[in-house]
Amino acid sequence: MIKIKDLTKNFKDKVAVEGLSLNIRPGVVTGFLGPNGAGKSTTMKMILDLIKPTQGEVTIDGKYYKDLKNTTSKIGALIDGNAVNPNLTARQHLELIATAGGIAIEQVENMLYKTGLSKVKSNPIGEFSLGMRQRLGIAAALLGEPETVILDEPFNGLDVDGIHWLRQLAKDLARQGKAVLISSHLMSEVQAVAERIIVLAKGKLIADMTIEEMSKKSLSAYIKVKSENNELLSSLLKKKGAFIQNANDENLHIRKMTLKQIGIMAKESHIALFELKEMQPSLEELFVELTEGKVEYISTKDIRERKDGRK
């Protein structure tokens, strides 16, 4: 288990990651989401001890990265911008990594096969497409059969087949009990594979929940209303405790109110309704909403408390 505690990274006056605390559990694929610049790569590099945190710490099974005994069997990673020598063949590249990491050389052929690179193993990496490079990076990450696999934007450059292949691979790894952390700036890439979703925005944790909880979107469902007089209806509903968004000339997006309450309010105020509809935003919409800071911090615990009416 990877434990991240109060992790912060400042680059001069730029705060890349701020007060991040979370655990990455074994046996689960965790999607690490956030728009570009959210701090995903910086966090992953701090897990891998490639960047020193300004504050806070990361432990892997209770140990600091630098104190790990058998690093290659503990943690393997694909990090963007990993240096590769374009003149080496795929096989040579992996053989170097295996040798440096004390990994059995047979693993190279295994991983070339597993990542679909057997046919091109003797070609120089310089001739590889982005997708093939990603596969090679994934092969390198898995070479030591690590307990934790960290993949930074692994879907970049993969074609449709590659995307399906990687999803299946990630699920298989989780089924074997490994912790799999996959970053992406696109909800659609991880929602089909991740059991748990962590969302970062501007370096801060804004959501940490299972995909199931996210799908229920209980906090994000809203009622769309079109009426004869949105302005008046909106002010009346607000007085009753409604939370209203996107109040443009056309539509009101209303939360914390039921369909019935809105209908009755409209009737009592003699405002004709043209539309009154419950909307369930897609995961993609919820992600955009979360990262735009429209929705407050949500954690599994918060959702449970709200359901129990404790908050």
User: Can you give the binding site for ligand ADP, defined by CB under 6 A?
Assistant: 11, 14, 16, 34, 36-42
How far is the C-alpha of 154 from the C-alpha of 169, rounded, in Å?
12
**CB neighbour burial string for 52-73, b if at least 16 within 10 angstroms, e if fewer:** ebeebebbbeeeebeeeeebbb
Q: Encoding tokens for residue 308?
A: 């129990």
Q: Which residues bind Mg ion (CB under 5 A)?
A: 40-41
- By beta-carbon proximity to ligand ADP, the closer residue of 125 and 182 is 182
The pair of three-digit structure tokens given for residue 163, joined into one six-digit string:
């995307």
With respect to ligand ADP, which residue has the nearer C-beta, 43 or 72? 43
Strands across the sheet with 148-151, in order?
75-78, 148-151, 179-184, 29-33, 196-201, 204-210, 298-299
Smallest distance, Å, CB 160 to Mg ion? 23
Q: Which is nearer to Mg ion, 81 or 241 (CB)?
A: 81
User: Counting beta carbons within 10 angstroms of the beta carbon of residue 79, is it exposed (0 to 12), middle (13 to 18) or buried (19 or more)?
Assistant: middle
Q: How far is the CB of 253 from Mg ion (least distance, A)?
A: 31
Burial 255-265 (b: 16+ CB within 10 A, else e): eebeeebbeeb
- What is the Cα–Cα distance from 32 to 16, expressed in whole angstroms? 15
Nearer to ligand ADP among residue 13 and residue 212 (C-beta): 13
- Among ligand ADP, Mg ion, none, the one that 42 touches (CB under a kind-dependent 5 to 8 A) is ligand ADP
Which partner, ligand ADP, Mg ion, none, binds residue 16 by CB below 5 to 8 Å per kind?
A: ligand ADP
Q: Provide, rounded to whole angstroms, the least separation between the CB of residue 107 and ligand ADP.
A: 29
- 34 Rama sector, left if φ>0, alpha if ψ -120 to 50, beta otherwise: left
Cβ 203 to Mg ion, closest distance in Å? 12
121 binds, among ligand ADP, Mg ion, none (CB under 5 to 8 A by kind): none
Return d(Cα 66, Cα 208) in angstroms, integer: 27
Which among ligand ADP, Mg ion, none contacts residue 260 (Cβ within 5 to 8 A by kind)? none
> Considering the complex, what minimum distance in angstroms separates the CB of residue 104 from ligand ADP?
33
Q: What is the distance between the alpha carbons of residues 165 and 179, in angstroms, rounded to a whole number?
A: 18
Q: Which is nearer to ligand ADP, 31 or 144 (by Cβ)?
A: 31
Residue 34 or 154 having the CB closest to ligand ADP: 34
11 binds, among ligand ADP, Mg ion, none (CB under 5 to 8 A by kind): ligand ADP
How many CA atoms within 13 Å lie on the side-chain side of 44? 29
Q: Give whichever of 57 and 61 is closer to ligand ADP, judged by the CB atom.
A: 57
DSSP symbol at 128: -
Residue nearest to Mg ion (CB): 41
What's the closest the beta carbon of residue 46 comes to ligand ADP, in angstroms?
Answer: 9
Q: How far is the CB of 6 from ligand ADP (least distance, A)?
A: 17
